[in-house]
């Protein structure tokens, strides 16, 4: 069994990523070009993300609902900027049945009077429903969330990062005033940041997008951006202040307390299975996946080391008693997830399969452990040879603290990496040299001229990822145009 992932991150990061996804049994390519099959281990990760995030959304006053997969073309046409932004990515349904031809081959039949769009996002259909549900200021604010799949044609597939079909949550809200809607959009951005940092252990830069990077139809788009181990940026979540654009398009009006008819102010926001790609690229090593404990499907895997049948019964009995003891403990307000690997295979193969899957703590129990009265404990964020000897009592008493220590160390490691690869740059020459020879983010002044973004994208494949929210407003000179600038922005290559 091949142990380390090849090639390594340094040799070929994109290929390392693809091989890790395969080795960790997270997902694989689908027979349908552009799509993926999420395997159980990968889907368990998504379920944990979904469960933990859903609790936060409900605590913030959002209710779950579900809307159709198919959207009438005329709905998409209502908001001009929106349709222009998604037109090239849309999957279109034109027929509603099949028939057999003369040679027995299947043919399209039953052409639709109006084509239906497979949802690339749901603003148009949800806003259509909002126009029916909202009549008075008493109906506001309206906060709706949907867990669903979306479809955007994508031929350059990278599992979890770029696929035609992917899973996500999309939230949509309507408010009586501009101030309330903007506050909501920024609140959701902060909620996403908190989730990424405290659950996924990924440090975030939160900020606003430039006009070139703005969501089609939005007044303002905000995002959380993270640095991956190859120095590229990953947009991990977005929140959009839509103003009254979609309300005008869908006629979302309400009667205010004075009896006056007004347009609602709306927002939308979402994260997707791309978060799994972020976990992989922010934390993992050349041995495989590394999972932060707070999101891991399994916290502890117990591996019985049976080299002779004489010891099997005693070792297995001990492992089950240990699991029962650990399962009484609580982590993240839930029972500790403990798994015993009882597969009929060599111990080395078992160990390496769990290393690749990134389980935070591995406990090995063999004849020597039973005889000496200790457990062999290995923590995934360290090298696979760094084993600890802990008594059962010591381990049971301290395992929650050990998991939290792993969580914090992963966050600090990722944060230190970002700090080491975030460069403040003041000249055009230095900027070009940085992105041609090094990896990371550049903090530089920008005059606000969108043509500069277009040039940098064309020449360096670099874009402005974020105008940071907590930026220091200190005047400077744009190194590209010589124009005035009131703050620095974050430039990077991106996924």
Residue 5, in any domain of the structure: no
Residue 1: what pLDDT? 47
In the numeric block, which tokens belong to residue 1? 């069994």
Q: Are residues 275 and 238 part of one domain?
A: yes
- pTM, two decimals, is 0.96
Residue 470, in any domain of the structure: yes
Q: Are residues 385 and 246 part of one domain?
A: no
Q: Are residues 273 and 313 part of one domain?
A: no
Count H helices, E strands: the chain? 14, 27
CA distance 52 to 124: 28
Residue 240, in any domain of the structure: yes
Q: How much is the CA Rg of the chain, to the nearest whole Å?
A: 26
Task: Give the residue among 149, 150, 127 at the shortest CA–CA distance from 76.
Answer: 127
Q: Are residues 320 and 467 part of one domain?
A: no
Residue 17, in any domain of the structure: yes
Q: Are residues 202 and 175 part of one domain?
A: yes
Q: 251 vs 475, which has greater pLDDT?
A: 251
Residue 481: what pLDDT? 96
Q: Which of 250, 283, 316 is the last residue of a domain?
A: 283
Residue 332, in any domain of the structure: yes
- State yes or no: pLDDT of 2 exceeds 60: no
At 110, the pLDDT band (50, 70, 90 cuts) reads: very high
Backbone dihedral angles phi then psi of residue 481, each to the nearest 5 degrees: -120, -15
Q: Do the bridges between strand 205-208 and strand 142-151 make them parallel or antiparallel, or are there none, so unpaired?
A: unpaired
Q: Are residues 130 and 32 part of one domain?
A: yes
- State yes or no: pLDDT of 156 exceeds 90: no
Q: Which of 249, 283, 317 is the last residue of a domain?
A: 283
Residue 81: what pLDDT? 77
Q: Are residues 245 and 161 part of one domain?
A: yes
Residue 3, in any domain of the structure: no
Above pLDDT 70, what percent of the chain? 99
Q: Are residues 238 and 121 part of one domain?
A: yes
Residue 80: what pLDDT? 64
Residue 412, in any domain of the structure: no
Helix (H) or strand (E) holding 196: helix 178-198
Residue 475: what pLDDT? 87
Q: Are residues 373 and 248 part of one domain?
A: no
**What CATH number is given to the structural domain containing 84?**
3.30.930.10
pLDDT tens profile 19-73: 999 999 999 999 998 999 999 999 999 999 999 999 999 999 999 999 999 999 9
Q: Which of 340, 371, 402 is the last residue of a domain?
A: 402
Averaged pLDDT for residues 257-277: 97
CA distance 471 to 430: 22
The answer to whether the beta carbons of residues 223 and 196 sit under 8 Å apart is no
Q: Are residues 449 and 485 part of one domain?
A: yes
Q: Are residues 433 and 396 part of one domain?
A: no
Residue 1, in any domain of the structure: no
Q: What are the residues whose beta carbons fall under 8 Å from the beta carbon of 259, sequence distance 6 or more?
A: none
Q: List the domain range (segments joined by +) for residue 201.
A: 13-100+107-283
**What CATH number is given to the structural domain containing 318?**
3.40.50.800
pLDDT tens profile 413-436: 999 999 999 999 999 999 999 999
CA distance 339 to 320: 9
Q: Are residues 131 and 18 part of one domain?
A: yes
Count of the separate structural domains present in the chain = 3
């Amino acid at each position: 069994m091949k142990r380390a992932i090849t090639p390594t991150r340094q040799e070929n990061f994109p290929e390392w990523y693809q091989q890790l996804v395969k080795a960790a049994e997270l997902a694989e390519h689908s027979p349908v070009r552009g799509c993926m099959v999420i395997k159980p281990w990968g889907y368990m990760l998504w379920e944990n993300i979904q469960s933990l995030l859903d609790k936060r959304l409900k605590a913030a006053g959002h209710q779950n609902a579900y809307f159709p997969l198919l959207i009438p073309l005329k709905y998409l046409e209502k908001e001009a900027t929106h349709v222009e932004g998604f037109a090239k990515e849309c999957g279109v349904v034109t027929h509603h049945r099949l028939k057999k031809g003369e040679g027995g081959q299947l043919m399209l039949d039953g052409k639709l009077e109006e084509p239906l769009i497979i949802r690339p996002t749901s603003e148009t259909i949800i806003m259509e429903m909002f126009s029916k549900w909202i009549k008075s200021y008493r109906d506001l604010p309206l906060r709706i969330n949907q867990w669903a799949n979306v479809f955007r044609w994508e031929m350059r597939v990278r599992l979890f990062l770029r696929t035609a079909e992917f899973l996500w949550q999309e939230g949509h809200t309507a408010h009586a005033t501009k101030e309330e809607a903007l506050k909501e959009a920024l609140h959701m951005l902060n909620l996403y940041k908190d989730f990424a940092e405290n659950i996924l252990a990924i440090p975030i830069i939160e900020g606003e997008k430039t006009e070139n990077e703005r969501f089609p139809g939005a007044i303002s788009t905000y995002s959380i951006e993270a640095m991956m181990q190859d120095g590229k940026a990953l947009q991990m979540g977005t929140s959009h202040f839509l103003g009254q654009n979609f309300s005008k398009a869908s006629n979302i009006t309400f009667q205010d307390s004075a009896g006056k008819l007004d347009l609602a102010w709306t927002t939308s926001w979402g994260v997707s299975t791309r978060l799994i790609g972020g976990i992989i690229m922010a934390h993992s090593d050349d041995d495989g996946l590394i999972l932060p404990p707070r999101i891991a499907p399994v916290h502890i895997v117990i591996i019985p080391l049976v080299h002779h049948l004489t010891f099997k019964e005693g070792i297995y009995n001990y492992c089950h008693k240990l699991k029962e003891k650990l399962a009484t403990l609580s982590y993240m307000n839930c029972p500790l997830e403990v798994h015993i690997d009882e597969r009929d295979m060599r111990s080395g193969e078992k160990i390496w399969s769990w290393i690749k899957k990134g389980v935070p703590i591995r406990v090995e129990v063999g004849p020597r452990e039973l005889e000496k009265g200790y457990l062999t404990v290995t923590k995934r964020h360290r090298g696979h040879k760094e084993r600890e000897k802990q008594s059962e009592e010591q381990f049971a008493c301290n395992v929650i603290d050990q998991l939290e220590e792993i969580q914090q160390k992963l966050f600090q490691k990722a944060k230190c990496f970002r700090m080491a690869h975030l460069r403040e740059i003041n000249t055009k020459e230095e900027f070009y040299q940085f992105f041609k020879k090094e990896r990371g983010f550049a903090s530089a002044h920008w005059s606000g001229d969108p043509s500069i973004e277009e040039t940098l994208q064309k020449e360096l494949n670099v874009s402005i990822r974020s105008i940071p929210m907590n930026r220091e407003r200190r005047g400077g000179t744009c190194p590209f145009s010589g124009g005035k600038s009131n703050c620095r922005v974050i430039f990077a290559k991106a996924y």
